[in-house]
Structure 1
Amino acid sequence: MHDTSDELEAKGWQDFANCLGVDPDLFFPERGASTREAKEVCRGCVVREDCLEYALANGEKFGIWGGLSERERRRIRRQRALTRRTALDGEATADGVGA
């Protein structure tokens, strides 16, 4: 049975996560410890993107979210910020501002 997007939204993406019922400590390993097992749980998860976007939107600085570590999410945040700045600079130049 496949849930519709309305059902997914009503239940919340967390209810469909592969990690549901898994020990949360797995996703918050000690510094320097392997993240392989946590990332394996995330692999193929139907709500992986939702989880990642939640972590990015809420500034989650610790743990594995959407299959990515803190460092990997930081890289995405930096890239998105650069993309936004570049787009804003392009709009300002097109509008004649800053020229």
Structure 2
Amino acid sequence: MTATLPEWMTEGLCAQTDPEEFFPAKGGSTKAARATCKACDVRAKCLDAALTRPELYGIWGGLSERERRALRVTKEEAA
């Protein structure tokens, strides 16, 4: 059985880019992935999905796992 991707995933610029760009080796550069995310129309949906799941690896919505974790903590503290 094949999982159906959310529509925003197929519309993202990352769908047209090498996936390894978004999952660099430890200590590798995330500059290219962040630039791709910055120009992407579905960045907010991507980030929301990564915060909801949560995604533990890679660049999602332009943020690293550490940045997403900090954002979740900030949102929880504000609530």
Q: Which has the higher contact order (CA 8 A, sep 6+)?
A: 2
What corresponds to 2:27 in structure 1? 32
Once residues 7 and 56 of structure 2 are traced to their aligned partners in structure 1, the CA distance between those partners, rounded to angstroms, is 22
What corresponds to 1:47 in structure 2? 42
TM-score by length of 1: 0.70
Shift of the alpha carbon at 1:81?
1.0
Aligned-pair identity in percent equals: 45
Question: Secondary structure of 1:20's match?
Answer: helix
Kindly indicate whether residue 58 of structure 2 is the aligned counterpart of residue 71 of structure 1: no
Deviations 1:14-59 (A, max 9, x none): 1210111311111001111110011111112110000000000001
What corresponds to 1:23 in structure 2? 18
Q: Letter of the aligned partner of 1:50 in structure 2?
A: K
Q: Which has the larger radius of gyration?
A: 1
Question: Secondary structure of 1:74's match?
Answer: helix
Once residues 12 and 46 of structure 1 are traced to their aligned partners in structure 2, the CA distance between those partners, rounded to angstroms, is 12
Deviating above 4 A after TM superposition, structure 1's stretches of 4 or more consecutive aligned residues are: none
Deviations 1:61-83 (A, max 9, x none): 11000011111101101101111
Kindly indicate whether residue 75 of structure 2 is the aligned counterpart of residue 83 of structure 1: no
TM-score by length of 2: 0.87
Count of residue pairs brought into register by the alignment: 74
